[in-house]
Amino acid sequence: MLCAIPKKTAISLCSLLASTVFLAEAWAVAPPESIDGTIKVNAEELIALAENIPELVIIDSRIAGDRNQGFIESAFSLPDVDTTCDSLSKIIRKKDTASLFYCNGVKCARSAKAIKIALGCGYSNIYWFRGGFGEWQEKGYPYLQE
């Protein structure tokens, strides 16, 4: 009951609730249309890249729970929340290796966040599959499940 809470505590609780709402709204913002320093691709272009660049590294930036829905074959699981220069260096050996990032789809900001980290670490030759797993499924392309 709010009336039984001292005024100072009630104000602190209100501040906490307001900041939580702000954070939730910030995460609800869709990622940008493009990211400087990357090449945006669709599902068909991803397939062509995989066929033409055997060393292409595919990074699934989704959290483990999302990956349970399925994932693109040969994609490494590296959630955005775990993406650092160190974690990237364990998957992408050379900073100019072709690498592609994806997440759930156009409303998912996880791959955009991971890409910005990769760019900050000095990685180049980055592709962004903005349509992500949602586009992949919609187009009926095969995927794996754990």
CATH code: domain of residue 97: 3.40.250.10
Rounded Cα distance, 100 and 90, in Å = 15
Q: Which residue has the higher pLDDT, 120 or 29?
A: 120
Residues 76, 24, single domain; the answer is no
On whether both 24 and 42 belong to a single domain, the answer is: no
In the chain, how many domains are there?
A: 2
Per-residue pLDDT at 35: 96
Asked whether residue 102 falls in the same domain as residue 133, the answer is yes
Q: Does residue 28 carry a pLDDT above 80? A: no
Alpha carbon distance 5, 8 (integer Å): 8
Domain match, 24 and 55 both: no
Residue 63 in any domain: the answer is yes
> Does 70 score more than 60 pLDDT?
yes
pLDDT score recorded for residue 30: 74
SS3 134: helix
Q: What is the pLDDT of residues 79-123, one digit of tens each?
A: 999 999 999 999 999 999 999 999 999 999 999 999 999 999 999
Q: What is the mean pLDDT of residues 56-60?
A: 98
Q: What is the pLDDT of residue 146?
A: 80
The pTM (predicted TM-score) of the whole model is 0.80
Shared domain for 52 and 5, answered yes or no, is no
Quick one: 49 and 66 in the same domain? yes
Is 54 inside a domain boundary? yes
> Are residues 67 and 108 both part of a single domain?
yes
With cut-offs at 50, 70 and 90, classify the pLDDT of residue 12: very low
Q: Are residues 43 and 89 in the same domain?
A: yes
Q: How many CB atoms neighbour CB 25 within 10 A?
A: 9
146 domain residue, yes or no: no
Same domain, 7 and 76: no
| 67-105 burial: b if 16+ Cβ within 10 Å, else e | beeebbeebebbbbeebeeebbeeebeeeebbbbbbbbb
**The tokens of 9 are what?**
């505590």
Residue 122: domain span: 38-138
Whether residues 55 and 16 share a domain: the answer is: no
Instruction: Tell me what percent of the residues of the chain surpass a pLDDT of 90.
Output: 78
